[in-house]
Amino acid sequence: MNYTLHQLNVFLTITELGSVTKAAEALHLTQPAVSIQLKNLQDQFEIPLTEVVGRQLYITDFGKEIALASQNIINEVEIINQKLITYQDQIAGKLKVSVVSTGKYIMPYFLTDFLKKNPGVELKMDVTNKASVVRSLEKNEVDFSLVSIPPSTLALEHITLMQNKLFLVGNASSELKVNKPYKSNVLESIDLIFRETGSGTRQTIEKHINQQNLTVKRKMELTSNEAVKQAVVAGLGHSIMPLIGIKNELELGDLKIIPVKGLPIQSQWQLVWLKNKKFSPAAKAYLDYLIEHKDEIITKKFEWYESP
């Protein structure tokens, strides 16, 4: 056997993406170059790693075993490289974070200075809905996840970052006034715009509505906070939205907060990780950094938000 790390990495990418073409794009190589590396690896085994049915590439059971072994080998090599860099008083390696979509407004501020101080750290941040974030935690695919309501089905540890506050908002032309709080049943008289099923924001809002025994009119549901925000600005309805994502629109007067008794809905942004998680040097260094600097970051970047 005389396979190389490069061949293993190419094959692993092919198995993850299910396509030589997509693997070539991901690796910034030509398709023939990827095909050659796959052939050179295959030539060292008597059992097929892949098979083509029609025009679709499939990984054989043996190929899946080789892919798993390849991942383990590459992980060990990364650990060796990280140990070398650590002995050189540097921090390096991958830092993998999944973030619920509204968390994109705060998470970068808790990462920027750490990444500047540690240029050897490679960040992979997936911004998605809560259901996908929970799946990435369950599969141990990430070091940390940012959520406002941690899943109760997993054994987790956490560090609390800051408040998450949801208000009823309308556009500048909304007939609802801002000078006197409405009763909670005002939500029954307006068209509400919701996030999609699986969104943490939607789950929080629906829980609040059920607790208040309200029957509301769902005008539409959209798959991102940005889409919801633009729909409200355009006058398509009202929505209960995280304050963190609408600062500019409030300052410009495109949106206004409608005071309602029982609002805002409040929770806490939490960075969570699996209990007994074995951290890489990069992940451990980031957690230490966050514990030391989070209050400073909040004061510096989010004073407008944290004040009453």
Q: Summarize pLDDT for 19-78 with one digit per residue, the tens.
A: 999 999 989 999 999 999 999 999 999 999 999 888 889 999 999 999 999 998 988 888
Q: What is the 3 state secondary structure string of 106-117?
A: CHHHHCHHHHHH
Measured between alpha carbons, how far is residue 270 from residues 100, 103, 120, 127, 156 in Å?
11, 10, 26, 15, 11
Closest to 165 measured CA to CA, from 112, 208, 118: 208
β-bridge mates for residue 166, sequence order: 242, 265
Mean pLDDT, range 84-96, rounded to an integer: 73
The predicted structure's pLDDT at residue 85:
65
Distance CA 18, CA 12 (A): 10
pLDDT band at 291 (very low <50, low <70, confident <90, very high): very high
The predicted structure's pLDDT at residue 37:
93
The predicted structure's pLDDT at residue 49:
93
- The DSSP H or E segment spanning 254 is none
pLDDT band at 88 (very low <50, low <70, confident <90, very high): low
Instruction: Give me 39's structure tokens.
Output: 């052939």
Mean pLDDT, range 291-307, rounded to an integer: 88
pLDDT band at 168 (very low <50, low <70, confident <90, very high): very high
Mean pLDDT, range 113-125, rounded to an integer: 91
Of 81 and 177, more confident: 177
Ramachandran category for residue 262: left, alpha or beta (phi over 0 → left; psi -120 to 50 → alpha): left
Angle at 37 between CA 35 and CA 42, to 5 degrees: 95
pLDDT band at 187 (very low <50, low <70, confident <90, very high): very high
Tell me the helix, strand and coil percentages in the chain, rounded to 5. Answer: 45, 25, 30
The predicted structure's pLDDT at residue 90:
66
Considering the chain, what is the average pLDDT of its residues? 89
The predicted structure's pLDDT at residue 308:
54
Residue 128 exposed, middle or buried by CB count within 10 Å (0-12, 13-18, 19+): middle
Closest to 35 measured CA to CA, from 54, 48, 49, 21: 21
pLDDT band at 128 (very low <50, low <70, confident <90, very high): confident
Domains and CATH numbers, the chain: 5-85 (1.10.10.10), 90-162+268-306 (3.40.190.10), 165-266 (3.40.190.290)
